[in-house]
Amino acid sequence: MKYRQLGNNLEVSALGLGCMSMSAVYGPTADRQEMVKLIRAAHDRGVTMFDTAESYGPFANEDLLGEALQPIRDQVVIATKFGFDIDLESGERRGGTNSRPAHIRAATEACLKRLRTDRIDLLYQHRVDPNVPIEDVAGAVKDLVAEGKVKHFGLSEAGVQTIRRAHQVHPVTAVQSEYSLFWRGPEAELLPVLEELKIGFVPFSPLGAGFLTGKIDATTQFDPTDFRNHVPRFAPEARQANQALVDVVKAVAARKRATPAQVALAWLLAQKPWIVPIPGTTKLHRLEENLGAADLELSANDLAEIDTEVSKVRVLGDRLPEAALKMTGR
């Protein structure tokens, strides 16, 4: 496994593991002990960064990760997130966001218990709270850093002005947002600002929520509990139109003797040396396939071909439902 640096001094594996899908969102919850094995298998193969959030479950994913990583805690980087309005006792979702400083502290203490650790390596604000100045949020995390309970501060799906303001209060080590050949929005404003401020970038859904693997087409039936049923980009007609994007990736994969997933991830890794994608999976063979992308070299000609061909494709459909989109880029 190769390694990369987020921010000034957080070294992580070039590919992390997104753990959200292990506790629902993409369908029924996976078997807990099988997921414990998978998380440890990822570490055995060189993965050092594991991504979770209090809202995944809620709470179930952090609890799973805490069990899986407890024996190897000092060898890994744990990233989790606060910021949704969730009752910290019952796990009830009350809707909206909550980044009041007192709630951040209480949520962090609860995260520490579930993760069975005395510090969180990377703590993200999951979504910007329009009712709390970002300076107050950064200040609350800065206090937790001073106490040793948090090592690094991150923001998820934040706009560039919010990032600048937060960074002035306490250094932002990483920003997490969606980015892939299926969604290239960060290229316009976000990536230049991150490069300027020397902040790392952690793309989630680096495989386009599975679409770039080439295993999904217009006839695919998702489980009733799968969130993609509600995503405009995954409507059957959109999938049919967007297949042209997958065809580009498949063509390169065939020539490189790789899989479409590996090409999609290698393309991301080639964009900037401070980008660390976090593909998720519940299957060992997919984990191994994804990790193979770290060793796949795309030449300048390969990258130029991908850019040229992808630019001809007009991707159909929004990347998230309307209500979720309204919570991004603030």
Q: Which residues are catalytic?
A: 56
Three-state SS for 50?
Answer: strand
The angle subtended at Cα 206 by Cα 15 and Cα 32, nearest 5°, is 70
Residue 150's Cβ-count burial label (10 Å; 0-12, 13-18, 19+) is: buried
Residue 18's Cβ-count burial label (10 Å; 0-12, 13-18, 19+) is: buried
Alpha-carbon distance values, 319 to 108, 126, 211, 325 (Å)? 29, 17, 12, 8
State the Cα–Cα distance between residues 7 and 45, nearest whole angstrom.
24
Residues forming beta bridges with residue 174, ordered by sequence position: 154, 200
Tokens of 80: 């989790």
Tokens of 136: 């107050």
CB atoms under 10 Å from CB of 189, counted, come to: 13
Three-state SS for 15?
Answer: coil
